[in-house]
Structure formats: C-alpha cells, structure tokens
Amino acid sequence: MLWVPQIQPLGSPSAQSRQGAQPKLGPCLAHTSPQLAADPQGPLGWGPGPVAFCREPWGRGRALGRCPHPHSSGPCSSCLRLDVSPPSPTWLTRYEEATNELINEELGIAYPIIDGIPNMVPEAARRTNKKPPAEGSEQP
Amino acid sequence: MAAVRLCRCRCRALLSRSAGALRARRGLAAGPEMHFGFQTVTEEERREKIYQVFENVAKKYDVMNDSMTLGIHRVWKDIFVHKMNPCPGTLLLDVAGGTGDIAFRFINYVHSVRQRQLQRKLKHHQNLSWQEIFESYQKDKFNSLGDSQVVVCDINREMLKVGKQKAQHLGYSEGLSWVLGNAEELPFDDDKFDVYTIAFGIRNVTRIDLALQEAYRVLKPGGRFLCLEFSHVSNPLLSRLYDLYSFQVIPVLGEVIAGDWKSYQYLVESIRQFPPQEELKAMIEDAGFFKVDYENLNFGIVAIHSGFKLHNENTSC
C-alpha cells in the first residue's frame, strides 16, 4: 500500500518575484514558525526554495521527529512537505506546482517528481523552454 | 558436493584475475565487458541487472540484512556513524542510502549531541534575566537537529520508497531529503557537503572511479569521504568459513525469506569481485583524497575507508 504524499508547494515564485518572495509556509498553522517567515533564506542560505522545516520548539519530553499533531495513523498532511533540500546543480531549484517538477532556471532544466521523490538522474532532466541567462549579461 | 562447488567458485575467481578482467573488476572503463557477480556482461546490462536485483529485494532488504549478518550489520553501521562523529550543522550526503539506515543513525547521533549541548548550556545559564527569557521564547532555541541535514540519494526508486516509508513509520520528519540520482553523476553543485557516505553501495556502482570523482567534487574542502563495504578477509581459516557461509547459507536464506536466490547469489559473488582494501585505498587516493585510511571490522569482512578533501586544485593556494 503506497501512500502518496500531499505535496504542499510554497507558492510558485516567478523568476522576477523570487528575490522578494516570501514562501508560503503551507497549512501547518501549528508549526508556522515566525522565525522561518522572517528568514526565508533558510538556515544555510538556500534561498526561497521548496524547503520548509517542521520546527516547533519541542520540549525535552518529546521524541525526536514525531509529529505532535494528534492523529491516529499515517503522517499528518500538514507536517508533510516536499522536503527536498537544495538538490540542484546550483542549489537553486524551485518547485513548480503545475508540472510537479523541480526547475533549475539557471541551467534551464526540469526534473520530474514522482511519488514525492525527485528524479534527478541526468537522463530524466527535461530542457525547459526558458534559455539560461547569457554569459554576457553577467559581466560588469 | 559443497567442496566441488567451492572449487568451481574459486576457479572462476582465479580466472577473473586476468589483466583485462582486473580493469573491469576495478570498475574502470574496460570497454563493454564488466562483471556481474561471476558472470561477464556489458556495462549496460550490468546496470540493468543491478537495478533489477535491488528492485526485487527492496521490500525484504532490511529483514535479509538482519538474517544474513545475524544482526551484526547494525553494529557495523553504528561504528560507521561513530567514526563519522558528526556535529550539529553537518550536511551529509548518503549515496546508495536507499533504506536510510545511515541517515537515521546520523540524525539520532546529531540529535543526542545537540541535546547534550543544550543541557550543558542550560546548566550554566540558570539565572536568566527577564529579557533573556523573553528572547528565548522568540527565537527557535530548541533547534533539535542544529540545522543538520541529510540527503539520501539512490538510483533505485523502490529502495527510496521503502526508506521513505520507514522514515514515516519511525517518525523522522526533519532533516531528511530523498533524491533519485546516479552516483556517477550527482545532481549537486560543487563543494556542498560536509560528509559523503556510501554504505554497502559502492560495490554495485558500475564505474567506481567516476563515483569517487563525483564524491570529490561535491564535498567541501575539508569534507570527509567515508565508505563502508564488504572487503577481503586475509586470515585463511576465517576466509574459508566465510566463503562457506556466503555461498552455502546466504542464497538459501535469500530463497526462503525473500524468494530470490539469484539476487543473493549476485550479492555474494559481487563481494568476491570487489577490490580488496589496499586497492580501494589506491582508487580513493587517485580521486584526489588525502589521508586515506581503512579500518577492518571483523577481520576484514567489512572495511571502513576514509579520506579527506583538503583543497580544490583549481583555486590557487
């Protein structure tokens, strides 16, 4: 019995709005950390990507990693994110909800996500229509 | 009959030690001929077959590990993570980490280190001012993993699925990522990871030299490469007992428990085909790692190889 996770996208920032976009933290209101909202770059400076940590200040009594939401069985959908930390050749993939892919805009490729696991084998990468920025534009 | 079979296996192993096969054994580009256990196949076939093997065994992988090694594999993996000795904030890449054994141990280890850190901090910080108490409620002080992250990368989707289910079942929600990727061509940027581990996986990689080069690439300068793998037993008596156990007992267990004789026959044969400790050490050094060393566990049945990436050659020192 395979359980397909509910993928909660953190909005779909376009290239222009990526700089200033605040990622949506999804429906996990109990877990919304004001610190994460204030610091969308994330702890390791990964940028506003599809990373969202389920961080609640857990007391010492809590077991490691257990979802504190009361539910009988199975994972809590609000605790579930597409927990894909920067798995991109340039550490900047964003999750595209429409096509369910991880898109790397700098290289112009998209990796499909199947069953919540991104398929980042080179053969699976699809060239997106957007061309990567030209070399000349980067020079001062 | 058992002796005849052993003899045959030994002969095949001896024959495969010819020069051409030596290159193939090392996982270097030897043209199209490579080994799959004791058979000779093309590179493409080998990838296919290995994918099939792990697709078949994925669901019973953990059960089989316990029964084949009588639970000792847990000790090996514990020793492995203890050798890694990660501190909170470490970014780990666990390649061929399918069912997540190393990843879970890493998270447990880092969590306990972090708990001790927090306890020590608390002990010395009993007299808090009201301002400090107020601030402690603002910041996310109970960062239980200390920003450590582990990325589990595997080429086999079934293994990753099993790993993900296990993570949910055991309650690991934070700090884990699952990625389907090829160890010979990792989808990660250069100089990203603090530690790269590959436990019982490098034996199944078709081009070991490429995998080692990729490991070197994605590690930060100062990063550590760790490899846990079955290796060669030098003690002759133990070697015979080990061969006996491997070829007589393990495939039978495979058939009884997982219903798959051939996969476990492959597993056992691939251990014999894998380069011994010194040869693997040389390959790791060739990839650019320094201070390469290995530690035998259980007289060489398993070995932990470790190497460090000290600097990038491209940048001027």
Residues A33-80 have pLDDT tens digits of 455 455 555 444 444 433 333 333 333 333 333 344 444 333 333 333
Instruction: Say if A54 is an interface residue toward chain B (CB within 8 Å).
Output: yes
Instruction: Say if A126 is an interface residue toward chain B (CB within 8 Å).
Output: no
Beta strands in B114-218 (DSSP E): 149-154, 176-180, 193-199
pLDDT at res. B132? 78
Of A140, A10, A27, A20, which Cα lies nearest the Cα of A83?
A10
Question: Taking CA atoms, what residue in B is nearest to A53?
Answer: B174
Distance CA B286, CA B290 (A): 9
CA-to-CA dists, residue B98 to A55, A114, B4, B152, B163, angstroms = 25, 16, 36, 7, 6
A88, B189: Cβ pair inside 8 Å? yes
Instruction: State pLDDT tens for residues B133-170.
Output: 787 777 655 677 878 899 999 999 999 999 999 999 99
pLDDT at res. B91? 93
Q: Which residues of A21-41 are buried (b: 16+ CB within 10 A; e: fewer)?
A: bebebbebeebbbeebeeebe
CA-to-CA dists, residue B282 to B52, B288, B290, B294, B313, angstroms = 30, 10, 11, 11, 19
Of A21-35, B173-187, B198-212, where does mean pLDDT reach its minimum? A21-35
pLDDT at res. A99? 82
Instruction: State pLDDT tens for residues A87-99.
Output: 433 345 677 778 8
Amino acid at B206: T
Nearest by CB to residue B189, choosing from A55, A79, A90, is A90
- Report chain B residues whose CB lies below 8 A from the CB of A64: 107-108, 111, 144, 171-172
Chosen for mutation from B133, B137, B179 (greatest number of chain A CBs closer than 10 Å) is B179
Looking at the DSSP bridge assignments, the partners of residue B177 are B151
Count contacts between A and B (CB, < 8 Å): 104
Distance CA A8, CA A97 (A): 9
Q: Is residue B183 annotated as involved in ligand binding?
A: yes
CA-to-CA dists, residue B261 to A78, B158, B240, B274, angstroms = 42, 19, 21, 20
Chosen for mutation from B111, B138, B144, B192 (greatest number of chain A CBs closer than 10 Å) is B144
High-pLDDT (> 90) share of chain B, %: 53
Of A5, A133, A21, A134, which Cα lies nearest the Cα of A78?
A5
DSSP B82: H
Of B162, B200, B212, which Cα lies nearest the Cα of B62?
B162
pLDDT at res. A74? 37
Q: Is residue B96 annotated as involved in ligand binding?
A: no
Nearest by CB to residue A87, choosing from B160, B171, B177, is B177
Instruction: Say if A38 is an interface residue toward chain B (CB within 8 Å).
Output: no
Q: Quick check: pTM over 0.90?
A: no
CA-to-CA dists, residue B139 to A26, A63, B87, B142, angstroms = 20, 21, 21, 9
Instruction: Say if B140 is an interface residue toward chain A (CB within 8 Å).
Output: yes
Q: Report chain B's C-alpha Rg in angstroms.
A: 21
pLDDT at res. B56? 87
Instruction: Say if A66 is an interface residue toward chain B (CB within 8 Å).
Output: yes
Instruction: Say if A57 is an interface residue toward chain B (CB within 8 Å).
Output: yes
- Report chain B residues whose CB lies below 8 A from the CB of A44: 91, 147, 149
High-pLDDT (> 70) share of chain A, %: 25
> Which residue has 């780990």 as its token pair?
B92
Distance CA A13, CA A15 (A): 7
Instruction: Say if B130 is an interface residue toward chain A (CB within 8 Å).
Output: no
pLDDT surpassing 70 at residue B112: yes
pLDDT surpassing 90 at residue B14: no
B177, A85: Cβ pair inside 8 Å? yes
> Which residue has 């514990």 as its token pair?
B78
A64, B164: Cβ pair inside 8 Å? no
pLDDT at res. B283? 95
DSSP B124: T
Distance CA A26, CA A32 (A): 8
B187, A54: Cβ pair inside 8 Å? no
Of B281, B278, B274, which Cα lies nearest the Cα of B306?
B281
| Vertex B274 angle, CA B273 and B277, to 5° | 135
Instruction: Say if B123 is an interface residue toward chain A (CB within 8 Å).
Output: no
B positions 17-56 inside 8 Å of A (CB): none
Residue A129, classed as helix, strand or coil, is: coil
ipTM over 0.85: no
DSSP B187: S
Q: Which residues of B41-75 are buried (b: 16+ CB within 10 A; e: fewer)?
A: bebeebbebbeebbebbbbbbbebbebbbeeebee
